[in-house]
Amino acid sequence: QVNDKVVSKLAKTKSIATRSTGYDHIDLEACRQKGILVSNIPTYGVETVAEHTLSLMLAISRRIFESLEKTRKGDFSNDDITGFQLKDKTLGIIGCGKIGKRVAELAKIFGMKVLAYDVFKDEGAAKKIGYQYVDFETLLKEADFITLHANLTKENYHLLNKAAFQKMKEGVVIINTARGSLIDLQAFVEYLKLGKIKAAGIDVLEEESEEKEEIKLLYENKLNKEQLQKLLADHILTEFEDQNKNVIITPHNAFNSREALAEILETAAKNILGFVNDNPINIVK
């Protein structure tokens, strides 16, 4: 964390280049007061994340993991692993920025109908790619698949909550490669158990940092009631994955490709060179 205490000790620093899109780990106000420019990676891994999203959808629809498990056990029967095709299904994209648009393009190749919900509409892209903007409630009611590609803000925290799940189709499939806290995890697990949510492909959990450091945190007694509830829901979800093959969890890996990592390094280097050459770029305002 580059907080105000850290910034106060940076006597000669003029620029901070973070190798991430998010910058909530940096105290921007403290940097402004010291005249330190902060640059970030505005976008990266569009193709990588979009492909991971479609991979999760295909793994669920074609029951890939169940098939692998059977053949590894020497069982080549296929009567209990019948899947379904993506063609003619409706995909609802929440957050239709660069990644959302690329997911829409890939989904159209598979013959899907694509609906999108976003505060900022790009009608030109919608016409070119072939998707339709709808309101949030319409998307929830009509989508067979719902995939999240929105940034996390105070306004959309727990965007998919109990009220949202109640409005969805019976047997909806949820995909999240964006931010864990876009989903109310406790409500999510509840509707998975009820069967309202047929399947899920999850790359981000709400309390990832707590889960990774849970033993340390428990010993330090730093978890409040809400954090404990979220952590418990995380564990229930991962246990649910073990017992139910319709839940796929990947370890925050949607961004992780050689190409995306190279893009991060290249952009960070350009940010540093830009500052050195008195032409700063990708400055966080």
Catalytic positions are: 179, 208, 252
**Which of 139, 133, 196 is closest to 162 using CA atoms?**
196
- Residue 93, sorted as left (phi over 0), alpha (psi -120 to 50) or beta, turns out to be beta
d(CA 81, CA 75): 12
Residue 213 has phi, psi (to 5 degrees) of -115, 30
Q: How far apart are CA 64 and CA 267, in angstroms?
A: 36
Whether the Cβ atoms of residue 187 and residue 211 lie closer than 8 Å to each other? no
* Residue 258: both structure tokens together: 């050689």
Shortest CA distance to 65 belongs to which of 265, 246, 218, 210? 246
Could you tell me if 1 and 25 are in contact, meaning their C-beta atoms sit under 8 angstroms apart? yes
By C-alpha distance, which of 177, 227, 183, 186 is closest to 207? Answer: 227
Q: Residues 6 or more apart from 159 whose CB is under 8 A from it?
A: 94, 148, 150, 182, 183
Judged by phi (left if over 0) then psi (alpha if -120 to 50, else beta), residue 20 lies in beta
Whether 143 contacts 90, CB under 8 Å: yes
Residue 26, strand partner residues: 2
